[in-house]
Amino acid sequence: MKTKKWVLMVLILVVILGTVSMGLMAEDELAILPIYEGSELIYDDQFGFEELPVILGEDTVDRVEGYIRRLWLKAPEGRSPYEIIRNYEAAVENINGKILFKSRDPQTIKIGDIYFSEYFSTVRQDRGLATHVFTHSYFPEKLSEYLVSRATVNQVDNYIIVAAGKGHMAASQEEDTYFEIVIVELEAMEMDMVTMEYLESGIEAEGRVAVYDILFDTGEARIKAESEEALAVIADFLLENSGKKYLVVGHTDYIGSYEMNLNLSEARAEAVVEKLVNQYNISGDQLISAGVGPAAPVMSNRTENGRAKNRRVEIVELD
């Protein structure tokens, strides 16, 4: 089942990545991003479900859980680490991914008392080989480029880390460019949860109900097409209760600034109201949009599962 999902991702990406100066290698049927053309794939490690720290800023680290895959590669001769990163930045954007953080000097990052490289050394495991091949991340010796992005493919969220630099300590090749791609596949989104019974029972019990089937791209307020089924059920509920007024409240996790998340939650709530009014003929007098950003979490924001639960739209009964 897992392999089929990866293959479906590849088929989608092959179509939309034609403008990027990369190509998929025959040896790499499962990756969700292409390998830089002409690169040598040295290690392809799939670790199953594990935890990994992801550096998301000069002072932000996020420990995520998911299915981890790590590709370790040697770039073609004459290619710089910066050229590798710029190509992958374009590749992420071509799959409608979101660049979360990038650094041209990651080794100097220190969060609390822990340096950048030390975060990853805590999850490495020596396999007992003479070359000390480690699980998860073993960045190039002179790491100079680091990129973190997030993309949704086939309704599955993925963190994508690309790190590039000069040197491979074990191979004594100090001037060659090496890079690695780490993909953390997060849990599949829960879909098809919105039913008339779900809405009615939630409103009856608590006066509000959380909706997770209204989807947006990371950092965006445009409603994705796969949200239509949930919106149609909500519209039916509102039409059956046309004499009552409701709040449509946007919620976010705490990744990013408070002001950014507050504005994003308001924009998403407004987008939902606009869609219900314009496409489903709901009266504008029945709905009021509001956004509270990360101010009302239902779970801890310290885990990916908790943040997923905090990113939601709520329907709240007013009278």
pLDDT tens, per residue, the chain with 319 residues: 444 444 444 444 433 333 344 443 434 444 678 889 999 988 887 777 777 888 888 888 887 878 888 888 899 999 999 999 999 999 998 888 889 999 998 888 888 888 887 777 655 544 433 333 444 456 666 889 999 998 887 767 889 999 999 876 555 667 889 998 999 888 655 555 789 998 998 899 889 999 999 988 778 899 988 899 999 999 999 999 999 999 999 999 988 889 999 999 999 999 999 999 999 999 999 999 999 999 999 888 877 777 888 999 999 999 7
Place domain 196-317 in its CATH homologous superfamily.
Answer: OmpA-like domain (3.30.1330.60)
Write phi, then psi, for 101 (nearest 5 degrees).
-165, 140
Q: Which residue has the tokens 């997923």?
A: 308
| Structure confidence by residue, pLDDT tens digits, 210-250 | 999 998 877 889 998 889 999 999 999 999 999 999 999 99
The domain segmentation of the chain, as residue ranges, is 2-188, 196-317
In this prediction, residue 172 carries a pLDDT of 60
Strands 312-317 and 287-291: unpaired
pLDDT at 157: 82
- pTM score, whole prediction: 0.55
Closest CA to 275 of 213, 203, 219, 224: 224
Residues 6+ apart with CB under 8 A from 1: none
Distances (CA, A) of 253 to 27, 65, 206: 38, 16, 22
Token duo for residue 244: 């009552």
**Burial track 16-45 (b if 16+ CB lie within 10 A, e otherwise):** ebeebebebbeebebbbbbbbeebeeeeeb
**pLDDT tens-digit profile of 147-194?**
999 888 776 788 999 999 987 655 566 788 999 899 988 865 555 578
Q: Do 168 and 74 meet the contact criterion of CB atoms below 8 Å apart?
A: yes
